[in-house]
Structure 1
Amino acid sequence: MEYPDFELEKHLAGRGFLRIAGVDEVGRGPLAGPVVAAAVILNVDAIPEGLNDSKKLTGKRRTLLNDLLRQAAEVAVGEATVEEIEQFNILRASHLAMRRAVEALDPAPDFLLIDGNMIPQGIAIPAQPVVKGDTRSVSISAASIVAKTWRDRLMVDLAQQHPGYGWERNAGYPTAEHRAALQHLGPTPHHRRSFGPVHKILYQE
């Protein structure tokens, strides 16, 4: 397995940027729940081993790395609600969550490495988008781990309030179990009504 490295961060440090935050989001594909982003500034002397794209890690490994990051790094999380996803669309809501995560870091970073090919509107800090960044930069992979751990736990909590959809297993993604429950039980207030499968159930003739 190939792992992300610290080369982008080293290059930026050579240009005088010392507080470099990796930024990533999770939750663009689910039918339910918020989209969550994290911003992480790693401690160069305490980078946990095995950082990688959160989707390539087991839940147990993600939890361990999340705990290590929260002990040794500067970590902040931002969310955009289902209502904001509906109001703005999922891309803009994802960017809103990213901006909130960055703004929650105090003191502020002086450079951002952002997963994807766009810099969210409203971010005034110097930034570089990095396509597939969670497989290239350890700072971005750290952010992906923190964001996914946060969102998965949130969906487990929501699953207890709304049993039957399997959110504790599928985190709101459109699995067969979730889609069948949606058809049988109908949408909850946490479902994204503009997303196809939810929209069809709401407005079927």
Structure 2
Amino acid sequence: IREVSNLLWRFKEYVRRWYEHWKHDSGLRLMWEPTQFCKDFGIDMVLWALRTLLVWSWRDMLSTGEHMTDSMTESWQALLSINVMFGMARLIYMLRLVDGPGKGILAILETFFSGTIQQMLFICGAIFTNFFVAFVVLVPDMGPREVFLHMYRGLFFGDGAGLDELGLDEVNHNYIHIEVLNGYHVNMNRTLIVIASFVFNVIILNLIIAIYGNEYEKIKKTT
């Protein structure tokens, strides 16, 4: 209740100050836009929601009269781990105000949420989705979840086992072939995974690293 009251009070102050600057047509209204509240206190709102779910789940667990370690469910464990993770994320976010390491943390966060990086991540996701849909069609004996996991392991981390499952192995079975010349067949699975791995591991990931490094250096100079 205390955390909800604090969040609502802060939101009211954001709206009040934004409205006052808006009436006077002041440029400072951009600092107090309601959307800015979500950016500043987004982690707090998510953490409050997770804590509420955790407390509610704990309340139901205690109502059974069983010992906590005996009645701990998988969902309760998952909520607890997520709460711990977001709690540590909030602590790291608060360290941005500390002189010294805070400058680096702030530069990393500002770089990640910059428009250039977001555009590059969107392009990366679009290309990944393109290859994912193609492999779902080419590998009908695998479900979409299996295809996604193998692609994620193979394209982002260069995992050989993941690439082999999609067509880069030497066995060459259960794959789709097309005949391009007299008696010469092309393995479509192998061809597509070679193209996908080259595009991701050689081009896309290196571009993201280069652009992120460039944006980080620019933002670090201004923080």
The structure with the largest strand share of the pair is 1
The structure with the largest helix share of the pair is 2
TM-score by length of 1: 0.25
Structure with bigger gyration radius: 2
The higher relative CO (CA closer than 8 Å, separation ≥ 6) is in 1
